[in-house]
C-alpha cells in the first residue's frame, strides 16, 4: 500500500510538473518593461549636432548619459532630404556609439536628420532633430576670363563667376612684380570690382579664386594677369 501510494504520488507529481511546463508554454517574446513602455518614457538624445567633415560627409554627434545607456540598446538615424517629405532610416539598424557619419548623401544635397534611442524591445524614443545641412564634397571651380583694366592708382578687375551656386566670395591677390611691396589680399562678392590704393607705375600680378559656403577654395589660375595702375 505504501509503495502504491508512493508510485501514485510520483506519477501525479510528474503529471503536475508536465502540465505546469505545458501551461508555461513554448515560445519566444520580447516585451518592453515598465516604465519604458511608451516612446515618451524613453530618453531622447540630447545636444544633437551636425557638421561636415573635410571630405564633405555629414557627421552627427549627440549625447547620452550613463542612465540613458543603461536603458537603450543604441540609436537609429533617419534622414530627410530637402526634396523629400518623409524621414527614412539610414545606416545600420542600430548605432551603438553617439556618432554617425553619413557618407551616402550626395554633393550639394541638403538634409535634416533625426536620431531616436531604441530599446531591445524595438521601442523608439521621440526624436531629436537637426537643422538642414548641405553636403559639400568638392571645391568650386576657378573663375575664368580674368581681365585687369588700369585706373588712377587702382585696377578694375573683371572675371566670369564660378558656376557653383554656393560660391560665397572671391579672394583677390595682387603681387608687385618687382617685389617692392608685400602681397595684397582682399575679397569681393562679385565681378567687376576695383582695387584702389595702388602705386602707379608698378606692375601687379592679379589672381582670383572662389570660396564656397563650406570654405573650400578653388584652384588658382595658372598665371597671374598683370595690370599697371595709372597715375
Partner 1 sequence: MLLRPGRRSRGGAGLSGLAAGAWCLLAATATHAGGAWVPARGLNYVELSTTYASTDLRYDAAGSPAPFERLGPGSPRTTYRDFGLHLYGEAGLGRGFGIEGDVTWRSARALEPATIFRTNGPADARLQLKRGFRAGSILWAVSVEGRFPMGYDAADYPSLGSGHTDAGANLHVGSGNRVGYVTGEIGILKRGGPERDEWPYAVQAGLNLTRTLQLIGDARGHGVFGNISDAAGAGAAFDPQTASSRLTMVGPGAAYAPVSGLRISANAWRSVAGANVPRGWMWKFGVARTR
- Residue 208 contacts partner 1 per CB under 8 A: no
DSSP run (H or E) holding 2: helix 2-24
Residue 8 touching partner 1 (CB under 8 A):
no
147 exposure class (CB count in 10 Å sphere: 0-12, 13-18, 19+): middle
43 close to 64: Cβ distance less than 8 angstroms: yes
Order of strands across the sheet that contains 167-176: 184-188, 167-176, 204-212, 225-227
Kindly indicate which of the ranges 12-20, 102-110, 134-142, 204-212 contains the residues binding partner 1, using the contact rule CB under 8 A.
Answer: 12-20
Q: Is 2 in the site for partner 1 (CB under 8 A)?
A: yes
Considering the rule CB under 8 A, would residue 119 count as an interface residue with partner 1? yes
Among 91, 120, 205, 230, binds partner 1 (CB under 8 A): 120
The one among 1, 3, 222, 231 contacting partner 1 by CB under 8 A: 3
Q: What is the dihedral of CA 67, 68, 70, 71, to 10 degrees?
A: 130
Contacts with partner 1, 47-86, as mask; x by CB under 8 A: ----------------------xxxxxx------------
- Decide whether 70 or 189 has the Cβ nearer to partner 1: 70
Is 27 or 179 the residue whose CB approaches partner 1 more closely?
27
Contacts (Cβ under 8 Å, ≥6 apart) of 33: 121
Contact yes or no for 148/207 (Cβ under 8 A):
no
The size of the interface with partner 1 (CB under 8 A), counted in residues, is 31
- Chain residues binding partner 1 by CB under 8 A are 2-3, 6, 10, 13-14, 17, 21, 24-33, 36, 42, 69-74, 96, 119-121, 123
Amino acid at each position: 500500500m505504501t509503495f502504491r501510494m508512493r508510485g501514485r504520488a510520483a506519477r501525479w507529481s510528474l503529471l503536475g510538473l508536465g502540465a505546469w511546463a505545458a501551461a508555461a508554454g513554448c515560445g519566444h517574446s520580447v516585451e518592453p518593461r515598465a516604465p519604458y513602455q511608451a516612446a515618451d518614457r524613453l530618453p531622447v538624445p540630447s545636444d544633437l549636432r551636425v557638421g561636415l567633415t573635410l571630405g564633405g560627409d555629414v557627421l552627427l554627434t549627440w549625447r547620452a548619459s550613463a542612465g540613458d545607456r543603461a536603458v537603450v540598446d543604441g540609436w537609429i538615424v533617419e534622414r530627410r532630404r530637402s526634396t523629400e517629405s518623409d524621414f527614412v532610416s539610414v545606416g545600420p539598424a542600430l548605432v551603438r556609439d553617439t556618432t554617425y557619419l553619413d557618407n551616402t548623401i550626395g554633393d550639394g544635397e541638403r538634409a535634416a536628420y533625426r536620431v531616436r534611442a531604441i530599446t531591445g524591445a524595438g521601442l523608439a524614443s521621440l526624436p531629436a532633430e537637426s537643422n538642414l545641412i548641405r553636403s559639400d564634397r568638392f571645391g568650386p571651380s576657378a573663375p575664368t576670363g580674368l581681365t585687369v583694366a588700369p585706373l588712377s592708382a587702382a585696377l578694375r578687375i573683371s572675371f566670369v563667376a564660378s558656376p557653383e551656386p554656393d560660391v560665397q566670395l572671391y579672394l583677390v591677390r595682387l603681387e608687385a612684380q618687382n617685389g617692392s611691396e608685400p602681397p595684397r589680399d582682399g575679397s569681393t562678392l562679385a565681378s567687376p570690382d576695383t582695387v584702389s590704393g595702388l602705386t602707379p607705375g608698378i606692375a601687379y600680378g592679379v589672381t582670383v579664386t572662389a570660396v564656397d559656403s563650406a570654405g573650400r577654395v578653388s584652384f588658382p589660375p595658372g598665371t597671374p594677369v598683370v595690370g599697371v595702375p595709372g597715375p
